[in-house]
Amino acid sequence: MGSEVKKEVGLPPRPPRSAQAKLRWRLLSRAIVPSRQETVGTAIDGELKKVSRRPGGRYNLVPYRVVTSQTKPGIVEEESLIASRLNGKDILLEYTIPVPPSVKLKVRQKHSINLQDFARSQKSAIDNTGIICLWPAEEVLTYFCAGHPELFRNKTVIELGAGYGLGGLAIAACTDAAEVIITDGNPAVVDYIEQNVKANRLAFGNTEVSASTLYWSREEVPLSGRTFDLVVAADCTFFKDFHADLVHTIKCLLGTSKDSKAILFNPRRGNTLDMFVEAAESLGLHVEIREQYDAHLWSVHQQLLNGDRKGWPNYDTNHCYPLFLTVTWRHTQLA
């Protein structure tokens, strides 16, 4: 029955042998992930749940609430989530960035993904992970960047693989960056980013903020050769097949100033992070990796490792904890 269900949703019954087909299998396995079961007990829902790689929890560094059209005292979270659907498919979340002056950002995102979302991504040969949820590394990026506004003052910033864009929105709202461009390779996700930029426009002050579709490709120079002071990204190194494209994109976007750099937050995930570092260094970039870079996050990480895993039962360092990578031109290390 399992093989029949996989055929019905577009998955082959087992990983194929060719390199291209193997990549397609992995993309499909990661892409088809409903955020909440709409139809309980169906065979398809059960099969989709099996291939899900969604995170099992969050660090709770950036508090949020579900925005509902009607506030009811004592309403439970599940009821709030259902009540807050927009057009039956979206929800609106209000994130509180925990740095003075405690900025609130509203982020519209999909309530659940369906086979149509997957089909659109498959047709465009793009990854669908950005439309699934807020990944833990993006929460860490948001928290860290908002807490270090000095890094972004008067800088031009671009976020890669931004998903719904919380990290870039927080940088725009909590720092004095000159410009922030929030990008993703999935046009459907970029539509949401554009809506979220408009919804939070008053929080950005004098910072210029925009959204853009940006594909990583070693064959092209992105954004007509434009460069930036800072490139930021979270959890973008898990697909080894895309390392060369991602590194080329980062290299093209980095400015020539000695202060230009990329700030990445990525779990190690087996050897994928090491392979990304090798790819970056092969193109003349220098990568510095830090494990401890924020005292509060490190404390939460240690609590999770020591057994306090309520709400995140599958937590482990290798797949969950984001390391802090700084990517620079190699010549800046010799200056």
Considering only residues 63 and 121, tell me which one the structure prediction assigns the higher pLDDT: 63
**Residues 97-116: what's their mean pLDDT?**
83
Across the chain, where does the E strand assignment appear? 64-66, 90-96, 104-110, 156-160, 179-184, 208-213, 230-234, 261-266, 285-290, 323-329
User: What confidence category does residue 125 fall into, taking pLDDT thresholds of 50, 70 and 90?
Assistant: low
Q: Is there a contact between 223 and 253 (Cβ–Cβ < 8 Å)?
A: yes
Q: What is the pLDDT of residues 228-260, one digit of tens each?
A: 999 999 999 988 999 999 999 999 999 988 889
Nearest to 129 by CA among 12, 43, 236: 236
Nearest to 276 by CA among 245, 304, 305, 307: 245
Tokens describing residue 92: 């609106």
Ranking 30-39, 77-86, 218-227 by mean pLDDT, the lowest is 30-39
Give dist(CA 326, CA 231) in Å, integer. Answer: 10
Nearest to 232 by CA among 249, 217, 213, 215: 249
**Residues 39-45: what's their mean pLDDT?**
35
pTM of the model: 0.79
Tokens describing residue 189: 């996700």
Check pLDDT > 80 for residue 202.
Answer: yes
The predicted pLDDT at position 116 comes to: 64
Q: What percent of the chain has pLDDT over 70?
A: 70
Q: Is there a contact between 136 and 59 (Cβ–Cβ < 8 Å)?
A: yes
Quote the DSSP letter at residue 35. Answer: S
Most confident of 34-38, 66-70, 77-81: 66-70
Considering only residues 80 and 200, tell me which one the structure prediction assigns the higher pLDDT: 200
Q: Is there a contact between 292 and 262 (Cβ–Cβ < 8 Å)?
A: no
Give dist(CA 271, CA 273) in Å, integer. Answer: 6
Check pLDDT > 50 for residue 216.
Answer: yes
The predicted pLDDT at position 107 comes to: 94
- C-alpha to C-alpha distances, 90 to 12, 68, 239, nearest whole angstrom: 30, 12, 28
CB-CB neighbours of 190 under 10 Å: 20
Tokens describing residue 133: 């949820």
Quote the DSSP letter at residue 254. Answer: B
The predicted pLDDT at position 47 comes to: 33
The predicted pLDDT at position 24 comes to: 46
User: What confidence category does residue 311 fall into, taking pLDDT thresholds of 50, 70 and 90?
Assistant: confident
The predicted pLDDT at position 134 comes to: 83
